[in-house]
Amino acid sequence: MTITALHNQSLLDLALQHIGTIESVFELAGANVLNITDDVVAGNTLILPTEAFTNKDILAYYTAKNLQPATAFSKEDEQVFERLEGISIWAINLDFVVSKE
């Protein structure tokens, strides 16, 4: 069976959503010749491993609630996160405008 990755989904998200366990990320990565830390591109199809242990309760919950976790941290997210902000960084009349009002 194949699955399609959504925007900002990691292998951990896909393992939880489609297999029901975080531990199955190793089988999912191996079946798709990936490392568990590799970025997954949205729209890519991945093979679900048949030998992975499935937690049927978690899988049923995710299926019933139509949950699609997407917790991957993209390069764009990293740039926003690392952008320095605050009064100690701002320059007067450049970022921090002084007005007489």
Q: 64-76: per-residue pLDDT in tens?
A: 999 999 998 777 7
Helix (H, G, I), strand (E, B) or coil at 88: coil
Q: How far apart are alpha carbons 89 and 20 in whole angstroms?
A: 45
**Gap between the Cα atoms of 12 and 30, Å rounded:** 13
Model confidence at 51, pLDDT cuts 50, 70, 90, reads confident
User: What is the pLDDT, as a whole number, of residue 19?
Assistant: 95
Q: pTM (2 decimals)?
A: 0.74
- Within 10 Å of residue 6's Cβ, how many Cβ atoms? 16
Q: Whole-angstrom Cα distance, residue 30 to residue 10?
A: 14
**At a CB cut-off of 8 Å and minimum separation 6, what does 51 contact?**
27
Mean pLDDT confidence for 3-23: 95
The model's confidence at residue 21, banded by pLDDT at 50, 70 and 90, is very high
